[in-house]
Amino acid sequence: MITDATSILPVLVFDSEHTWEDLQTLAEPHLDNDGLSRLKRALEKTAETVFIERHYIDKDYRDTFSSYHSKKFHTADARCIRLHFFNCNVTKKILSTPDNAKTKGYLDHSDGYLGYSVIRPTRPNSIGRTLLQPQSRPEVAGWLSLCTETVTVQGTILKVTGFPFISQDGDATVCAHATLWMLMRYFSNRYSIYPEIYPVQIGNLTRDYSVGRMLPAPGLYMWQMAEALRLEKFASMIYSKREFKDSFEHLMYTYIESGIPIIASFKTHVVVLFGHQSNYNITNPYDSDSPFVFSSSFCHALVGNDDNGVPYQLLRMSSDKLTENGCELMRGSQSQHSMSDIQDFVVPLPEKVFLTAENARKLITTILNDKIFGYAKHSNKLLKEKSIILRLFLTTGKSLKKEIHNRKQMGHKKVSKAYRELPLPHFIWVCELSLPDLYPENVLGEVIWDATRNPYEPNGFLAVHYPEKLIVDWGSALNHAPSFREFELDNSTEYPIFEHNLKEILQ
Amino acid sequence: MSQNLELQLSGQSKAFVTKKEYQEFTERFQKEVKSELDKQQKARLRSEDRAKRHLLSE
């Protein structure tokens, strides 16, 4: 059914007589065949109603239009079309007098809102700023970094939670700009410390590190992308697969598990990765001489946005490790990509994270094996196990404390009380300790390491928590010389894993 | 902030390591991690160098 086809806000409800092809008619001339195909691939399983918001002025397109498109002899339209998707039958009347909007003040995914997509008049890629709920793609499941935006349609407030997506326009922006935009928009949506930034501004961040013209955009080198992030308050780090052969995939996973999306490059293309899918039933991670099995071993795919595709695509760990579930995979021009095709990645670390993931891994495993502080001395429960699962991630001291009450007092009331009292730095590395029959739901302890420490300092750990013992460096916590306190823990229990960094999306 | 504050927990905390044990720990720890940390630092520098030649334009 189509309502008000010639108005400023027509509504399309998919039924036996009206299909996605009608959407192209209603959104012409902006929506081209490629754009329609992408929207259909992304949303055809869930979208039932589409609001077509004509004459929409989009801040990101206006940025490229003012700096580039308006200077062309054949000038594109300055305005866009914005499409709003719902997974149920929504009329204009429901939108203008929604019951839920009366009580909550807005409509969101619980009311059927799936998100929006701005359609630009650009060719070859018309899909502009887009934010869709991951639930709009039912085949996408896993743990994802997400942010929330609020938009309005004719005065009604709509809320959507997802990961930002935009396609390159091939003129003012290419894949490198689109990927930086997606990453930076996630951060500016989620954390007020990061400013909102627009596509041409992103290119201009590399102005002092470029040779030749800036527009049309010729592409960016990987180090220019890292530099652009540095200029926007990130302490970006670059990792090359050739230099981190054995730990490359573990490092990507660890940063993603920390809620920090990464920029990953293939031979000539770049994407943003912000989530993971894991299979905890595989047995091969345990076939190792080391008792330590990192949670990254269970990861079989990363979730990301490729600006040449649709939001929420999978990047498989390797071609033989994923059961097909209908989710769209990242593709190169010739074939499907896998994680083995990634050549390097950039992680935009927060400014106050001085200790990197590879440093933290080495330091924490060394402490766990130490003859004074290690588990062999303090934990019979862990010592008798063949495998100990380690889950390493970065978080804030504030987040750790906020989650204590949701995590069964961290297995023992003494631990809960000690952690609440312990002064913590802004950022900490946490390495949770678990066992195969408890993971991924529960853990038995953790090591907490100060992320602002120099890696060569041996006393960077603030707490080591085993099922039977808690060791706290109370001296370092008070900015004094190390002074350790040891507490016996009787009858401690397992407790839930830390979940604050990522949101679990169920299939 | 030089007050002698204490962690307020029921049950006692014990002095956990002697000065000598702690000294031995720091030496042992630094020896254990140094070569790996050095290797990681060099790998990061070489990664930055490689990134200067990696153009992304598709």
Predicted confidence at residue A324, as pLDDT, reads 54
**Nearest residue on chain B to A457, alpha-carbon basis:** B30
**For A193-326, where are the E strands, in sequence order?**
220-221, 235-240, 262-265, 270-278, 292-294, 299-305, 313-316
- The whole-angstrom distance between A219's CA and the closest CA on chain B is 4
- Cβ within 8 Å, pair A372-B25: yes
**Nearest residue on chain A to B49, alpha-carbon basis:** A223
Predicted confidence at residue A103, as pLDDT, reads 74
CA dihedral A371, A487, A428, A442 (to 10 degrees): 90
Cis amide prior to A261 (ω within 30 degrees): no
Phi and psi, residue B42, nearest 5°: -65, -40
Chain B contacts to A (CB-CB under 8 A): 1, 5-11, 13-17, 21-22, 25-26, 28-30, 32-34, 36-37, 40, 43-44, 46-48, 50-58
Q: List, in sequence order, every residue forming a beta bridge with A315; answer none if it has no partner.
A: A302
Check if the interface score ipTM surpasses 0.85: yes
Largest Cα separation within chain A, whole Å, is: 78
- Cβ within 8 Å, pair B28-A370: yes
Predicted confidence at residue A94, as pLDDT, reads 84
Predicted confidence at residue A113, as pLDDT, reads 97
| Alpha helices, H only, B1-58 | 19-51
- The whole-angstrom distance between B20's CA and the closest CA on chain A is 12
Q: Which H or E run includes A489? A: none
Q: Which amino acid is at A341?
A: D
Q: Determine how many CB atoms are found less than 10 A away from the CB of residue A333.
A: 9
- The whole-angstrom distance between B23's CA and the closest CA on chain A is 11
Mutating which of B5, B16, B18, B19 best tests the A interface, going by the most A Cβ atoms within 10 A? B16
pLDDT digits (tens, 9 = 90+) for A157-171: 999 999 999 999 999
pLDDT digits (tens, 9 = 90+) for B11-58: 555 667 888 999 999 999 999 999 999 999 999 999 999 999 999 988
Q: Write the residue in B6, B8, B47 that is nearest to A344 by C-beta.
A: B47
Q: Of A194, A358, A167, give the one whose Cα is nearest residue A272.
A: A167
Give dist(CA A310, CA A306) in Å, integer: 7
Predicted confidence at residue A286, as pLDDT, reads 66
Predicted confidence at residue A241, as pLDDT, reads 97
Q: What pLDDT band is residue B7 in, cutting at 50, 70 and 90?
A: confident
Predicted confidence at residue A317, as pLDDT, reads 80
Predicted confidence at residue A101, as pLDDT, reads 62
Residue A57 corresponds to which tokens in the numbers above? 């002025």
Overall size of chain A counted in residues: 507
Which residues, given as ranges, of chain A have pLDDT below 70?
Answer: 98-102, 283-284, 286-287, 319-326, 333-334
Residue B40 corresponds to which tokens in the numbers above? 């990681």
Q: Write the residue in A174, A308, A474 that is nearest to B57 by C-beta.
A: A174
Predicted confidence at residue A261, as pLDDT, reads 98
- Cβ within 8 Å, pair B56-A418: no
Give dist(CA A167, CA A248) in Å, integer: 27
Predicted confidence at residue A90, as pLDDT, reads 93
Give dist(CA A108, CA A112) in Å, integer: 7
Tell how strand A292-294 and strand A388-396 pair up.
parallel
Please compute, for residue A78, the number of CA atoms within 13 A of its CA located in the half-sphere on the CB side.
6
Q: Of A136, A139, A138, give the one whose Cα is nearest residue A325.
A: A139
Give dist(CA A43, CA A309) in Å, integer: 13
- The whole-angstrom distance between B36's CA and the closest CA on chain A is 8
Predicted confidence at residue A177, as pLDDT, reads 97
- Cβ within 8 Å, pair A456-B21: no
Whether the CB-CB separation of A324 and A298 falls below 8 Å is answered with: no
- Cβ within 8 Å, pair A243-B43: yes
Cα dist from A362 to A247, A365, A396, whole Å: 11, 5, 20
Give dist(CA A89, CA A105) in Å, integer: 20
Residue A77 corresponds to which tokens in the numbers above? 């339209």
Residues of A in contact with B29 (CB under 8 A): 366-367, 370, 458
